[in-house]
């Protein structure tokens, strides 16, 4: 519109501001939708590709031992026999390795010679490697004390005894109140009558187990919650991650399935298979794309608080994803970027309010 030789917009200042805001919203929505669509397309392309490599046959043993019986000496014989029978049955499939869950033996195998020799006999008869969890006694406690302490450990037993160092991993991230008391030297837990175990000490080494067919890392119990810990094993050469766990204390709740969901992220983050072997379930194999390949279940499809075995396949992978290589740097970049964005937005808001006040005074 021309007025006095000058072009005048038919829209008011408020209309033009509203138009700019609507345009900005549309651009933001379009950008967001485009990124989501591109992500979905990329995901479909990736998971459609086959996973290539030499397949390794493994067998998971889910003993389903009640929590109240695990450390009761009266049930030690039944527990040992249960795992021996399940192992002998599973050995018929001739897997490369048989896996038992966390603290599956009714006692420390280095403190009870009879238990250790029975275990060796079971492995010899099965004719294959056995990975299992057992509480490992430490002769001296922390800081040179003589109070007995334990490692929560995983052992790899060779079917053919050799004069080599025993392969063992000691749990690094202990479970608070179940295995240690947090900040014990600062917080007087005994005075405030907080119950909890303080019998364990944490391991220090990211052990990568050497099997004739592949290399793997072991995480115990809730260590699958910590992505930074899992990636350390893969960075050190682990081609597969095996999680030994006992979730009997959660009962028939959603917790075991939630922990499986967490393991899915660990598989995708590092591009390797993740195997879970749980006392009461869920015992399963997760591929590098986060898909649960198979699990221990009964004829009704139940996968917790049932006893059984499962034989499946994993493919050892020398994958080094961006997360495996660099860890949480992207999280920190996003965090710093968010802080900068908030500071800039706050500063612009302050500047605009001052400008508005100045214009009002005029």
Alpha-carbon distances, residue 194 vs 123, 149, 175 (angstroms): 41, 20, 15
Catalytic residue among 102, 179, 223, 269: 102
In whole angstroms, what is the distance from residue 220 CA to residue 236 CA? 17
Using alpha carbons, select from 61, 46, 93 the residue that is nearest to residue 287: 46
Check if 102 is active-site: yes
Q: Cα–Cα distance between 180 and 277 in angstroms, integer?
A: 23
Three-state DSSP class for 273?
strand
Q: Quote the CA–CA distance of 116 and 101 in Å, as a whole number.
A: 17
Q: First and final CA of the chain: distance in angstroms?
A: 29
| Separation CA 64–CA 133 (nearest Å) | 14
Q: Among 70, 179, 221, 247, which one carries the catalytic annotation?
A: 221
| Phi, psi of 181, deg, nearest 5 | -105, 115
- Identify the bridge partners of residue 306 per DSSP, sorted by sequence position: none
CA-based nearest residue to 262, from 282, 240, 280, 239: 282
**Does the active-site annotation cover 171?**
yes
Count how many Cα atoms sit within 13 Å of the Cα of residue 316 in the half-sphere of its side chain. 17
Active-site hit among 149, 171, 179, 223: 171
Contact 135, 150 (CB under 8 A): yes
Q: Is 223 a catalytic residue?
A: no
Catalytic site positions: 102, 171, 221
């Amino acid at each position: 519109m021309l007025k006095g030789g000058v072009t005048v917009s038919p829209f008011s200042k408020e209309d033009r501001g509203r138009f700019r805001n609507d345009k900005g919203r549309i651009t933001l929505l379009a950008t967001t939708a485009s990124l989501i669509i591109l992500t979905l397309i990329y995901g479909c392309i990736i998971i459609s590709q086959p996973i290539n490599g030499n397949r390794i046959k493994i067998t998971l043993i889910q003993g389903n031992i009640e929590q109240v019986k695990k450390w009761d000496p009266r049930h030690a014989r039944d527990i040992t026999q249960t795992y021996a029978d399940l192992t002998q049955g599973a050995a018929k499939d001739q897997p490369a390795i048989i896996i038992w869950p966390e603290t599956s033996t009714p006692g420390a195998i280095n403190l009870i010679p009879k238990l250790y020799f029975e275990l060796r006999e079971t492995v010899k008869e099965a004719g294959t490697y056995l990975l299992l969890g057992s509480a490992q006694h430490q002769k001296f406690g922390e800081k040179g004390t003589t109070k007995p302490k334990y490692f929560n450990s995983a052992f790899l037993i060779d079917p053919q005894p050799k004069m080599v160092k025993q392969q063992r991993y000691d749990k690094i991230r202990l479970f608070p109140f179940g295995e240690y008391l947090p900040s014990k030297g600062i917080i007087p837990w005994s005075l405030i009558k907080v119950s909890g175990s303080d019998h364990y000490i944490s391991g220090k080494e990211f052990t990568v187990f050497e099997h004739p067919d592949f290399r793997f890392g072991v995480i115990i119990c809730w260590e699958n919650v910590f992505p930074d810990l899992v990636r350390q094993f893969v960075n050190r050469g682990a081609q597969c991650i095996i999680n030994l766990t006992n979730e009997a204390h959660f009962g028939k709740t959603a917790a075991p399935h939630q922990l499986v969901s967490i393991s899915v992220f660990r598989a995708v983050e590092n591009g390797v298979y993740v195997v879970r072997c749980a006392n009461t379930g869920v015992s399963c194999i997760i591929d590098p794309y986060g898909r649960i390949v198979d699990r221990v279940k009964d004829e009704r499809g139940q996968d917790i608080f049932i006893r059984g075995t499962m034989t499946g396949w994993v493919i050892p992978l020398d994958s080094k994803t961006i997360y495996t290589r660099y860890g949480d740097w992207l999280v920190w970049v996003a965090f710093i970027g968010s802080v900068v964005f908030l500071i800039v937005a706050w500063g612009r808001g302050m500047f605009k309010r001052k400008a508005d006040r100045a214009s009002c005074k005029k």
